[in-house]
Structure 1
Amino acid sequence: MTAVPRRVASTATLVLAASALVAMPASGAVSPSVPQPPGAHEVRFATFNTALERPEQGALAEELATPDSEQARNVAEIIQHVRPDVLLVNEFDYDEEGAGPRRFQDNYLSVGQNGAEPIEYPYVYTAPVNTGVASGVDLNGDGESVTEPGAPGYAEDAFGYGLFPGQYGMVVYSRYPILTSQVRTFQNFRWSDMPDAMLPTDPGTGEPYYSEEALEVLRLSSKSHWDLPIDTGRGRPVHLLASHPTPPAFDGPEKRNVARNHDEIRFWADYVRPRAGSYVYDDAGVRGGLAPGSRFVIAGDLNADPNDGDGHPEAVAQLLEHRDVVDVRPSSQGGRGAAGRQDGANGGHEGAPELDSADFADDPGPGNLRVDYVLPSRSLPARGSGVFWPTVDDPLFRLTGDYPFPSSDHRLVWVDVVR
């Protein structure tokens, strides 16, 4: 399949050495939050949980049909300042027509926001996700299976928590061609098909939390896992490995979401290790992990901090300590300032606050955490990285702010790699 500029379609269809340095925002003031462009032989990969999900199916696409969404304008301006070459967007509702991604490009990214330079992505990829898709079985243990969207308990019995199919979806925008014929998706991979899966048990009885009927259908990915080969013009593609694991919260003593988050992250750890991913099968039935020697970037809101929060202590360590993965530790002074200013749970954190990428509730709550990642393979030397989190005295602080957030509770994370 050949790339078609600026077109969005359904499943597997192509549609459409420092951190931040000084640049000049529209206000005319200097902003240290805006990075210099990547070098001539570098590609900027980024991930951004934009929190653009909406509570009703079709609402996001309808909102983006005009250029009047203040949140979308702020999200677009952040992207225009950082200017990633390849961008994974989390929490962007999926629609089969691809209207949402197309309208976000046309009405927001292609329009200079507050004097920022417009940015064009000729290639856009989107596909179905598991959130809000009825499983047909009782997954939340209340004794009934709810299959009618909008009915009480529907979201909890869906393959991934969602009020309707496609809520909290994903989109990838790219300046480089996405090799659609080589894309692999893993939406349907069953959790129980992972060897030694961390399937939850009832701590009171020691029995499996999920019934045999549930395990027959329960998918591992709460949204989806995508392997998107990107042609960066250097002969071999770079595989963008995109996902958005479930938060390790909103469960009970069985810790089912903690376990699922761990194994959703483990999927990529196995996928990129030779022979470890031999059990993997994609949605086309092709088995096996990533070919040895492949270049890759793992990206997404992984909902796991290596030191703090409610996740399994080894969840994201599976990647950060992986022999084939490099953690360049993108950082910001804004994250450090927010943790000190907000205090609360942040005062007891072990992790370095400048590495944080999300501004969560502090009292009660987990506090600010590092949950968004761009992790290149060792075969892709990194030349720069950062977290877009302006300090309070930065003229661009208006784009991130404090709660209620003008854009998202997550921050855009970027890494420049030699292509």
Structure 2
Amino acid sequence: MRFLLIAVACAALIGASPANAAPAQSAGTNEVRFATYNLSLNRPTQGLLREHLANPDVDDVYRRQARNVAEVIQRAHPDVVLINEFDYDPEAARLFAENFLAVSQNGAPAQRYPYRFVAPSNTGIASGFDLNNNGVVDTTPGDQAYGDDSFGFGLFPGQYGMVVYSKYPIDARAVRTFQLFKWKDMPGNTMPTDFYSAEEQAALRLSSKSHWDVPIRVGRKSVHFLVSHPTPPTFDGPEDRNGRRNHDEIRFWADYVKPGKASYVYDDKGKKGGLKPGQNFVIAGDQNADPNDGDSFQKAILQLTGHPLVNARTAPASPGAAEASTLQGGANANHTGDPRYDTADFSDTAPGNLRADYVLPRVGNRIVRSGVFWPVRSDPLFRLTGVFDPAWSAVNGFPTSDHRLVWADLRLA
């Protein structure tokens, strides 16, 4: 809890930035560009991300990746963006904003985000239990087994964390985080109780990273930016513990936005309940769930895309995703979903490319336009997405990430 309070206090200071800070891209049009981007800026050891971001002029694979993902954000120029897979470190979040986003990359327009929010993640926090049932409670950060036995997979505390950047003020006092919410406290949860002991069931947290409700002030309006990064529904056994957890992490927001369904919810300060009737929201994040293909449990994402309060009539698309599916073949050839909507370039053997990342506004908000940053191969900007290359293996095999930035321009209700 000490780290959470520090992060919230830091966000409160950021929320008090000068009113004459850089204006939002869509200011005055009543349109706001919301985005989500799993940019794979995680690093293998704690503190390494801060070191890389503090020295932007060094030319190595890590800084080139950071410059590339910054350029993607600059080309898309969102007003509000969730960053997934950014190791928890408030100082690293500041350095990325100042040394990379606010500095033009290859002629792209610099983007200044005077407001940001960052808080701890469950990843890499030791649970004290043998959560992978291998007979050993691993307490040594840095190895696979330690990650498996943590509350959320991570080789050290905070790996694969999150950051929200905004050109509009963040109502820091009203932010709610749900890092500590217990999985067992969700009624009708899908936890595999035959896999986890009674003691483990009592201790397990629902969120593999965290769930945040970050209110954004747009003029006189307030939009609750509901962000998370559910665990991939893979890397487990027949008990499908990760698939079930992914399902319930997604369900959390489905209940949170529907009046009368979130009475069981409590945040990290003990406040109960979800959104009040009529409150506006945008749900965003790498949900690790495709509506048609992949390994998700019970088509988990349909809990949001089919929700009566969610505007999912328009799905962001890109020509690059369709081209990649055709050229890569493999598992993609057997998919039933339209490849235009894919947002992640995964292994062609399995599961193939998937729609994993979402920006989902409340009904009443008009989606003016939307898209996925996935250029076709003939586009000069294809260098920012590329294809898997072992030369980039020190990062993740891509010049940026295996995920693509997803954005939507919203005319707010």
Residue 10 of structure 1 corresponds to 7
Residue 167 of structure 1 corresponds to 159
Whether contact under 8 Å (1:12, 1:127) holds in the other structure is no
- Aligned counterparts of 1:153 and 1:369: Cα–Cα separation in 2: 27
164-173 vs 192-201, which moves further: 192-201
Q: Equivalent residue of 1:103, what SS? A: helix
Identity among equivalent pairs (%)? 59
Whether contact under 8 Å (2:88, 2:159) holds in the other structure is yes
- Aligned counterparts of 1:358 and 1:293: Cα–Cα separation in 2: 33
- Listed as ranges, the matches of 1:188-227 within 5 Å are 188-201=180-193, 208-227=194-213
- Aligned counterparts of 2:160 and 2:142: Cα–Cα separation in 1: 16
Q: Equivalent residue of 2:7, what SS? A: coil
Q: Is 1:307 the counterpart of 2:292 in the alignment?
A: yes
Whether contact under 8 Å (2:143, 2:155) holds in the other structure is no
Q: Equivalent residue of 2:321, what SS? A: helix
Q: Is 1:40 the counterpart of 2:26 in the alignment?
A: no
- Aligned counterparts of 2:281 and 2:344: Cα–Cα separation in 1: 24
- Aligned counterparts of 1:13 and 1:303: Cα–Cα separation in 2: 29
Q: Is 1:187 the counterpart of 2:179 in the alignment?
A: yes
- Listed as ranges, the matches of 1:52-67 within 5 Å are 52-67=41-56
Q: Residue 410 of structure 2: which of 398, 408, 417 is its match?
A: 417
- Aligned counterparts of 2:297 and 2:199: Cα–Cα separation in 1: 26
Q: Structure 1 12/361 Cα, relative in aligned 2: closer, same or farther at 3 Å?
A: farther
Letter paired with 1:178: I
Residue 407 of structure 1 corresponds to 400
Unpaired runs of 5+ in structure 2? Answer: 1-5, 15-24, 390-397
Q: CA RMSD in A?
A: 1.6
State the shift of 1:39 in Å. Answer: 7.6
Q: Residue 344 of structure 1: which of 330, 333, 340 is its match?
A: 330
| Cα deviation code 1:116-139 (max 9, x no counterpart) | 111100001100010000111221
State the shift of 1:346 in Å. Answer: 0.3
Q: Is 1:395 the counterpart of 2:355 in the alignment?
A: no
Residue 78 of structure 2 corresponds to 84
Q: Structure 1 401/388 Cα, relative in aligned 2: closer, same or farther at 3 Å?
A: same
Whether contact under 8 Å (2:80, 2:164) holds in the other structure is yes
Q: Equivalent residue of 1:350, what SS? A: coil
Q: Structure 1 277/12 Cα, relative in aligned 2: closer, same or farther at 3 Å?
A: farther
- Listed as ranges, the matches of 1:89-238 within 5 Å are 89-95=83-89, 98-150=90-142, 153-201=145-193, 208-233=194-219, 235-238=220-223
Higher helix proportion (structure 1 or 2): 2
Q: Structure 1 352/229 Cα, relative in aligned 2: closer, same or farther at 3 Å?
A: same
- Aligned counterparts of 2:8 and 2:242: Cα–Cα separation in 1: 27
- Aligned counterparts of 2:246 and 2:179: Cα–Cα separation in 1: 15
| Cα deviation code 1:88-124 (max 9, x no counterpart) | 00000002xx121111111111110001111100001
Q: Is 1:49 the counterpart of 2:38 in the alignment?
A: yes
Unpaired runs of 5+ in structure 1? Answer: 1-8, 17-35, 202-207
- Aligned counterparts of 1:148 and 1:11: Cα–Cα separation in 2: 29
- Aligned counterparts of 2:112 and 2:273: Cα–Cα separation in 1: 35
Normalising by structure 2, report the TM-score: 0.90
Letter paired with 1:410: H
